[in-house]
Amino acid sequence: MKKNIIFLIAIFGFLSFTSCKKKSNPKLVSITKLLPPVAGKIYHSAYPDFDDTEDKVSRDSILHFESLAGKQVAWVYFSNNWLPSQGGIHFPTNEVNIIYSLGRTPFIRLMPRSQFEEGTADPIYTMDAFLNGDFDQDLRHWAQAAKATNIPLLAEFGTEMNGFWFPWNGTWNGAGQKTGYGDVNLYDGPEKFRDVYRKIINICREEGANNITWFFHVNVDDDPVNNWNRMKNYYPGDDFIDWIGVSAYGSLGFSEPWRSLNRMLTDNWTEINSISTQGKPIALLEFGVYESSNNNQKAQWITDAFQSVLNGNIYSGKIKAISYWNESWEDNNDIIDLRIDSSPLANDAYKNGVNSPNFITHLNFETKYLKEE
């Protein structure tokens, strides 16, 4: 009898040990992120023109842009519009597959808009609606589909949030109030955006969509120019964001002033560079200028822009990627043509600029394996 008891105790101890051993061996979770290029190199990318809605992704458009540029792109930038007519919040599986099939990396702009009217609040996708959980299920489906691609993705939510033209700007979501939401020391408009972006990233993490590199994409100028609308007020934080992005356009029409890329970046670099306390890498996510009546003005702007990126003063060596916005549209019967082939001179300027060996087309990703808690 005594031997049997000892045997049973031994068996129980062994089972307890193996049970504990299993618990102490948690599942490994892979997290893939885009790294900055090696020193002196800059990723070359673009929005190649996917129609007025920015989402009609096609192989022809990508290859045509690369043919004009004389160089491949590292990522392909496009919009994921959440229009009710397109099913609302949905993951762009087809568009991602087209881009990836060419060996390029998809860069998805999550655009919470139900219409294309600018300078007004959106009737559906308010920041309050996101915070109230109205779209949580749709966002989880988006995250699940992103994970299912099993490829590295780049993404941003709420492009140029410090510009009043988009409905996610603070102007339409509480502006400079401090008592209607959250922390009484923070401005409601930017704070709501910050918390919505955090929520989206947290949902993606909960669903295991760890294959996404997240960008925070500001306009080079705050508009409106007001303390509550400063770009840093919208920032979700270094624990959520991997890269800082900026849009910096020269003139976009006959009534707009002509500003060089260097002037725009120099005037605003202190604010841009202070967004991240950890020094996240910075990308020029959108830049371009229209074709003016001065035949050489755009070509010179492009030439100077490339020189600025390579040899800018206070931001020298800080820009790790560029992405040209290649589009043309009509505005009050005027054609605003940003395309790199709007003239032979402009096309040559772009091709000559990007031909520098400093601009590279292969992205460097890193995958880490962490223990799941």
292: its two tokens: 């003016």
Residue 80's closest CA among 100, 95, 68? Answer: 95
pLDDT of residue 34: 98
Q: Does residue 150 lie in a domain region?
A: yes
Please give the pLDDT value at position 76.
98
The CATH number that applies at residue 127 is 3.20.20.80
Which pLDDT band, with edges at 50, 70 and 90, does 25 fall under?
A: low
Which domain range does residue 133 map to?
A: 31-371
User: What does the mean pLDDT of the chain come to?
Assistant: 93
Cα–Cα distance between 160 and 169 in angstroms, integer? Answer: 8
Question: How confident is the model at residue 320, as a pLDDT?
Answer: 98
Q: Mean per-residue pLDDT for 4-19?
A: 45
pLDDT confidence tier of residue 373, bands split at 50, 70 and 90: low
- pLDDT single digits (tens) 305-325: 999 999 988 998 999 999 999
CB 43 within 8 A of CB 320: yes
**Is residue 11 a part of any domain in this protein?**
no
pLDDT at 16: 47
What percent of the chain is modeled with pLDDT above 70? 93
Residue 74 lies inside a defined structural domain of this protein: yes
User: Minimum mean pLDDT among 18-22, 138-142, 174-178, 252-256: which range?
Assistant: 18-22
Q: Is there a domain that residue 25 lies in?
A: no
Binned at pLDDT 50, 70 and 90, residue 23 comes out as low
Least confident of 18-32, 66-80, 191-205, 275-289: 18-32
- Domain-located, residue 109: yes
Q: Strand ranges (DSSP E) for the chain? A: 28-35, 42-47, 75-81, 105-111, 153-157, 212-219, 243-249, 282-288, 319-325, 328-331, 334-337, 359-360, 364-371
CA distances from 105 to 67, 157, 251, 320, 354 (A): 18, 17, 29, 16, 19
What is the number of domains present in the chain? 1
Pair 61, 91: CB distance under 8 Å: no
More confident residue, 7 or 131: 131
Tell me whether residue 6 is in a domain: no
* The pLDDT of residue 255: 80
Q: Is residue 17 part of a domain?
A: no
Predicted local distance difference test score (pLDDT) of residue 313: 86
Give the residue from 238, 281, 283, 242 showing the smallest Cα distance to 265. 283
With both helix axes pointing from N to C terminus, report the angle between 93-101 and 59-69 in degrees, rounded to the nearest 10: 40
Q: Is the pLDDT of residue 2 over 90?
A: no
H or E stretch including 349?
A: helix 344-354
Which region among 15-24, 314-323, 325-334 has the lowest average model confidence (pLDDT)?
15-24
Q: Give tens-digit pLDDT for 66-110.
A: 999 999 999 999 999 999 999 999 999 999 999 999 999 999 999
Question: What pLDDT score was predicted for residue 9?
Answer: 40
Of 24-33, 82-91, 167-176, 339-348, where does mean pLDDT reach its minimum? 24-33
Q: What is the pLDDT of residue 370?
A: 85
Query: 212 versus 5: which is more confidently predicted?
Result: 212
Rounded average pLDDT over 127-135:
98
pLDDT at 8 over 60: no
% residues pLDDT > 90 (the chain): 86
Please report the pLDDT score of residue 20 as a whole number: 47
pLDDT at position 324 is: 98
The beta-carbon contacts of 197-202 under 8 Å, at least 24 apart in sequence, are 197/157, 197/158, 197/234, 197/236, 197/240, 198/236, 198/237, 198/240, 199/130, 199/131, 199/139, 200/110, 200/130, 200/139, 200/157, 201/236, 201/240
Q: Are 327 and 49 in contact (CB under 8 A)?
A: yes
**What mean pLDDT is predicted for residues 238-249?**
98
Q: pLDDT by residue (tens digit) across 176-226?
A: 999 999 999 999 999 999 999 999 999 999 999 999 999 999 999 999 999
User: Does residue 13 lie in a domain region?
Assistant: no
Query: Does residue 242 surpass a pLDDT of 90?
Result: yes
